């Protein structure tokens, strides 16, 4: 659509804001246009696309101040959106600020919003009589039955419940909450909150999927990166942002995926901490995001997150950049009924904007004018269709940013999302719901509840009268959890390793050997458990895995052999290093190599080198490391593409392997090791991290009996 060529109604000018106004209803050429506007010298700039970024020029009209009457301009924000914006602004505010917000709601006859504001007052001052009176007997009773911040006595019992390890203690606390406070929180809610409170805060990269991990499989695992803000409270429903990474197909055969969840998370952590949002960034199983393999993964991840974290179901947002922008358009439309808002960035325009209009799904759209990777035209077309269609959306387009995503864009998107809520209903009867809906209180189908019990644990506390499991029962239980694969297998392997149960070696070894019959994630977990148990009986199975085709199984088996510490594995590890050198060469494409293949093969070489250095004969270890790694990788020029937007830095991968090899050589007590380190150092002139590692390694191996260093 061409920029508007209409004049604003000729009227006198009133005082204008120094920053762009929120989307207002502006009289333009005899009709009202929803737009943002700001003062620009002796003119008024009007942006019909709703962007608050003054650097945007596409579609922006400028009109003489003398032709504008600010008194005729009306805000387009709904009372619910304004409430959300105001409450976010005072989230750490005083009692007086929340009282003022409550009265603002009452003046506008927003009874439900006023009740939420008065509850906010009680959270800051539980004895506040004005709030108690405003809520009334029934409203006050409901708040005090479930809100531990407004009812400190209940809050203390809830705190004790979340911290209690003993099931009998939790039953006693639950009885007290019911008796003393008529507690309205069901036991499943409390147990999910207790489980959630034990999960890591901050950022955790590459979390393996647990729910449905027996059915959902990926070549490199099924992983997502998670961010939990410092403000997260497992007893309070919290917004969730899902961020899809950029990239594309990679690897020599195109089966790998460029980009991943950790690279995407770099975009969102700052806005998530500020807004108090959970963030999940999955790593695609196949590029592009619309590939069928990704659907069961995304569905399982969403279900898992709803069970592991107290998510506000009415505040789940989707965004993504580049390939993730295309993915946001795709899954935003496919699952429009799930998202409170969608934010495609630097992707490709969506042909079905009617879908977002019908489901009342707001869209924040961004693209760079000078994007030379994904051209701007498709997203411009989508923005123009949404403008014509009357969608709830913002389109920001900036020049000079290329295929990037500036911080001010992420901030604008976050501010836009902050006031948006899910529209619920059927057909054309969708309506926005300002209700706070805890995922811990959702009514789930029986199948999902059975899966929760099987994969994540029973959301009911154990019977305090139950007797402790016998060793053989505990072994069977942990083996069954390993058979689930994914996150369940990883956790069970660690628990089984801690038991040092030698009777588990045989069943674990059998699973490890069952390539093609048992999932690779299960087999890798078995190798990890065998290494932790530390029995020499595991040696044959782990040695056989040195020729395994599955990278995850091979790597886990090498690490298990290192943990086992049996030098009888040395010859097998030398052969394994030869094999990995060959596999490295197989990924070559002339003088070059795909970044994905380079990163994967270098990582595996690093692990294998550690095993060789720890367990092989010293002279053989040095010779093999020089031949298979120093010559092949460090002294041979390999052209690997660099792509900053996908966090692809081959020099960083090479340096990481260099540090690993230097440390490994430094642990080998043989005269040839020093010469190998010095030779390797020349390949990394100017690489401070590797030079430092080489210098440290040249000091010689540690004292006899020291454990080999882990990676």
Q: Which tens digits make up the pLDDT trace of 170-211? A: 999 999 999 999 988 999 999 999 999 999 999 999 999 999
The pLDDT > 70 percentage for the chain reads 94
Tell me the average pLDDT across 266-270: 96
Average pLDDT, the chain: 92
Domain count for the chain: 5
Strands (E), 199-352: 202-208, 223-228, 238-244, 248-250, 256-258, 278-282, 311-321, 341-345
Q: Are residues 432 and 496 in the same domain?
A: no
Using an 8 Å Cβ cutoff, are 440 and 185 in contact?
Answer: no
Return the structure tokens found at 216: 């959902």
Q: Does one domain contain both 336 and 414? A: yes
Dist. CA 31–CA 9, nearest whole Å:
9
pLDDT in tens, 109-144: 999 999 999 999 999 999 999 999 999 999 999 999
30's CB contacts (< 8 A; 6+ apart) are 9
Please tell me the predicted confidence (pLDDT) of residue 84.
96
Residue 631's alpha-carbon distances to 447, 628, 634, 651, 679, in angstroms, are 55, 6, 6, 17, 10
Contacts of 282 (CB under 8 A, 6+ apart): 223, 224, 225, 242, 244, 245, 261, 294, 297, 298, 301
How far apart are the C-alpha atoms of 658 and 606, rounded to whole Å? 8
Asked whether residue 460 is domain-assigned, the answer is no
Examine the pLDDT at 82 and tell me if it is beyond 60.
Answer: yes
Question: Could you tell me if 68 and 155 lie in one domain?
Answer: no
Instruction: Give the model's pLDDT for residue 1.
Output: 37
* CATH code, 504: 1.25.10.10
Range of the domain at 502: 467-564
**Given a cut of 80, is residue 395 above it in pLDDT?**
yes
First to last CA, the chain: 56
Read off the pLDDT of each residue in 494-519 and give the average, rounded to a whole number: 96
With residues binned 3-state (H G I as helix, E B as strand, rest as coil), the percentages for the chain, rounded to 5, are 50, 15, 35
Is residue 576 one of the residues assigned to a domain? no
Tell me the DSSP string of 385-441: HHHHHT-SEEEEEESS-TT---HHHHHHHHHHHHT---EESSTT--EE-----BGGG
Sign of the Cα pseudo-torsion (297, 302, 303, 308, in order): positive
Q: Which residues contact 3 (CB under 8 A, 6 or more apart)?
A: 58, 59, 60, 61
Residues 434, 480 share a domain: no
Q: Does residue 445 lie within any of the structural domains?
A: no
CA angle 347/350/354 to nearest 5° reads 150
Round to whole Å and give the CA distance between 459 and 452.
Answer: 8
CA distance 143 to 362: 31
**Same domain, yes or no, for 333 and 422?**
yes
Residue 19 or residue 694, greater confidence: 694
Residues 335 and 396 in one domain: yes
Domain end point (choices 33, 55, 76): 76
Same domain, 559 and 694: no
The verdict on 278 and 357 lying in the same domain is: yes
pLDDT tens across 326-355, in order? 999 999 999 999 999 999 999 997 878 999
Dihedral sign from CA coordinates of 319, 441, 205, 509: negative
Instruction: Enter the tokens of residue 118.
Output: 């008065």
List pLDDT tens digits, range 269-311: 999 999 999 999 999 999 999 999 999 999 999 999 999 999 9
| Structural domain includes residue 333 | yes
Q: What is the DSSP string of 491-522?
A: HHHHHHHHHT-GGGHHHHHHHHH-BTTB-HHH
Query: What separation in angstroms does the CA of 275 have from each of 172, 407, 410, 437, 696?
Result: 36, 15, 12, 18, 44
Residue ending a domain, among 425, 440, 455, is 440
Query: Are 325 and 342 contained in the same domain?
Result: yes
pLDDT at position 2 = 37
Flag whether 573 is in a domain.
no
pLDDT in tens, 555-611: 999 999 999 999 999 999 999 999 999 999 999 999 999 999 999 999 999 999 999
Confidence of residue 20 (pLDDT cuts 50, 70, 90): low
Average pLDDT rounded to a whole number, residues 17-45: 76
Same domain flag for 363 and 232: yes
675 domain residue, yes or no: yes
Cβ atoms 656, 604 nearer than 8 A: no
Which one-letter DSSP state was computed for residue 238? E
243 and 113 inside one domain: no
- E strand or H helix at 24: strand 24-28
Per-residue pLDDT reduced to its tens digit, 5-19: 332 333 233 333 445
Percentage of the chain exceeding pLDDT 90: 84
Residue 458 located in a structural domain: no
Residue 346: CATH number of its domain: 3.40.50.1820
Whether residues 288 and 368 share a domain: the answer is yes
Evaluate whether residue 218 is within a structural domain. yes
């Amino acid at each position: 659509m061409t920029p508007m060529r209409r004049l604003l109604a000729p009227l006198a000018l009133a005082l204008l804001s120094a920053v762009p106004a929120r989307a207002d209803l502006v009289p333009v050429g005899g009709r009202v246009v929803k737009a943002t506007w700001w003062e620009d010298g002796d003119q008024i700039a009007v942006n019909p696309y709703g962007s608050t970024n003054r650097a945007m020029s596409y579609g922006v009209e400028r009109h003489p101040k003398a032709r504008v009457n600010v008194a005729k301009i009306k805000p387009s924000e709904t009372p619910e959106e304004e409430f959300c914006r105001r409450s976010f602004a005072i989230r750490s505010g005083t009692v007086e600020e929340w009282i003022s917000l409550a009265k603002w709601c009452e003046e506008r006859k927003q009874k439900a919003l006023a009740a939420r504001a008065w509850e906010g007052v009680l959270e800051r001052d539980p004895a506040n009589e004005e709030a108690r009176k405003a809520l009334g007997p029934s409203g006050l009773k409901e708040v005090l039955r479930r809100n531990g911040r407004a009812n400190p006595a209940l809050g203390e019992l809830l705190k004790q419940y979340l911290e209690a390890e003993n099931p009998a203690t939790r039953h006693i606390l639950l009885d007290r909450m019911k008796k003393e406070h008529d507690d309205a929180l069901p036991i499943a809610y409390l147990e999910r909150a207790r489980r959630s409170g034990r999960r890591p805060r901050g950022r955790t990269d590459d979390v393996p999927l647990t729910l449905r991990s027996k059915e959902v499989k990926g070549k490199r695992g099924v992983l997502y990166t998670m961010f939990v803000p410092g403000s997260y409270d497992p007893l309070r429903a919290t917004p969730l942002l899902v961020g899809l990474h950029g990239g594309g197909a990679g690897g020599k055969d195109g089966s790998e995926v460029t980009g991943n969840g950790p690279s995407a998370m770099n975009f969102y952590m700052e806005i998530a901490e500020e807004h108090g949002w959970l963030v999940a960034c999955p790593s695609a199983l196949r590029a592009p995001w619309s590939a069928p393999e990704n659907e069961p993964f995304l569905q399982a991840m969403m279900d898992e997150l709803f069970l592991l974290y107290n998510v506000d179901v009415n505040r789940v947002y989707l965004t993504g950049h580049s390939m993730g922008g295309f993915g946001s358009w795709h899954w935003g439309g496919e699952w429009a009924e799930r998202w409170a808002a969608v934010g495609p960035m630097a992707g490709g325009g969506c042909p079905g904007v009617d879908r977002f209009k019908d489901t009342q799904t707001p869209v924040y759209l961004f693209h760079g004018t000078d994007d030379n990777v994904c051209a701007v035209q498709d997203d411009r077309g989508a923005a123009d269709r949404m403008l014509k269609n009357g969608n709830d959306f913002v389109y920001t387009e900036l020049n000079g940013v290329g295929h990037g995503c500036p911080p001010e864009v992420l901030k604008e998107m976050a501010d836009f999302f902050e006031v948006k809520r899910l529209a619920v209903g059927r057909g054309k009867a969708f309506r926005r719901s300002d209700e706070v809906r805890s995922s811990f209180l959702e009514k789930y189908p029986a199948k999902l509840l059975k899966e929760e019990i099987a994969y994540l644990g029973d959301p009911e506390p154990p019977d305090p009268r139950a007797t402790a499991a016998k060793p053989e029962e505990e072994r069977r239980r942990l083996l069954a959890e390993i058979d689930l694969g994914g996150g369940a297998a990883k956790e069970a392997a660690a628990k089984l390793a801690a038991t040092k149960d030698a009777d588990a070696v045989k069943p674990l070894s059998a699973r490890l050997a069952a390539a093609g019959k048992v999932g690779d994630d299960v087999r890798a977990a078995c190798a990890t458990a065998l290494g932790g148990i530390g029995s020499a009986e595991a040696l044959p199975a782990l040695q056989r895995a040195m020729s395994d085709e599955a990278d995850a199984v091979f790597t886990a088996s090498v690490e298990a052999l290192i943990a086992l510490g049996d030098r009888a594995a040395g010859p097998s590890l030398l052969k394994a290093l030869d094999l990995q050198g060959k596999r490295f060469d197989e990924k070559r494409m002339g003088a070059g190599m795909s970044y994905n293949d380079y990163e994967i093969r270098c990582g595996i070489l690093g692990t294998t080198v550690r095993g060789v250095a720890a367990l092989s004969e010293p002279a053989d270890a040095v010779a093999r490391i020089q031949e298979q790694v120093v010559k092949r990788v460090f002294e041979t020029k390999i052209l690997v593409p660099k792509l900053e937007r996908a966090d692809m830095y081959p020099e960083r991968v090479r340096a990481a392997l260099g540090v690993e090899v230097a440390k490994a050589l430094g642990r080998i007590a043989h005269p040839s090791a020093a010469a190998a380190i010095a030779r390797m150092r020349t390949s990394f002139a100017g690489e401070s991290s590797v030079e430092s590692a080489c210098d440290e390694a040249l000091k010689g191996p540690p004292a006899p009996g020291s454990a080999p260093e882990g990676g």
